[in-house]
Amino acid sequence: MSDPLVVGRVIGDVIDCFATSVTMTVTYNSNKHVFNGHELFPSSVTTKPRVEVHGGDMRSFFTLVMTDPDVPGPSDPYLREHLHWMVTDIPGTTDATFGKEVVEYEMPRPNIGIHRFVFILFKQKKRDMVRGPSSRDRFNTRQFVEDNELGLPVAAVYFNAQRETAARRR
């Protein structure tokens, strides 16, 4: 139980157990690095982050998915999940700006409780084979993976966020 992804139930609620094979770094505003389980303010994540893929090569392509599994609230997430961003065909060793933004980045707006926002990176079998979903709502990562034959993730990271004005550390 020493993996934050497991302890934070990301592995379980969103994806299945996997072995990290690619290093992915996600950074907001060039100074806010995303670490597992750290909290970020909604005001810090209004624009899309820089997602670097340190692995693979120029001939391998990756898909990035950003979802919120705690909609509308973590105690009763009956709308699980909400898709915030999807970029496909990211070439290895580059970043997300080199991919195809299939679903535009939507800034997180957690209203009830503390939400997890998960970035998951998959390796595509080949270029141009991933179809974006029809809607952001009721997104199911596992189903999406199955539909697009993406297999297990190669990297994942998540951060926590709650309402900007919520009571923290009381």
Enumerate binding residues for another protein (CB under 8 A): 2-5, 7-9, 35-38, 74-75, 114, 160
Shortest Cβ 21–another protein spacing (Å): 17
Shortest Cβ 160–another protein spacing (Å): 7
Shortest Cβ 5–another protein spacing (Å): 8
Count of CA atoms in the C-beta half-sphere (13 A) of 52? 9
Whose Cβ is closer to another protein: residue 75's or residue 134's? 75
Whose Cβ is closer to another protein: residue 8's or residue 72's? 8
- Residues 17 and 169: their CA atoms lie apart, in Å, by 31
CB distance 51 to 96 below 8 Å: yes
Sign for the CA dihedral angle at 32, 108, 134, 10 comes to positive
- Residues 151 and 142: their CA atoms lie apart, in Å, by 9
Whose Cβ is closer to another protein: residue 59's or residue 169's? 169
Whose Cβ is closer to another protein: residue 57's or residue 167's? 167
- Residues 14 and 81: their CA atoms lie apart, in Å, by 8
Q: Are strands 155-161 and 115-123 parallel, antiparallel or unpaired?
A: antiparallel
Shortest Cβ 79–another protein spacing (Å): 17
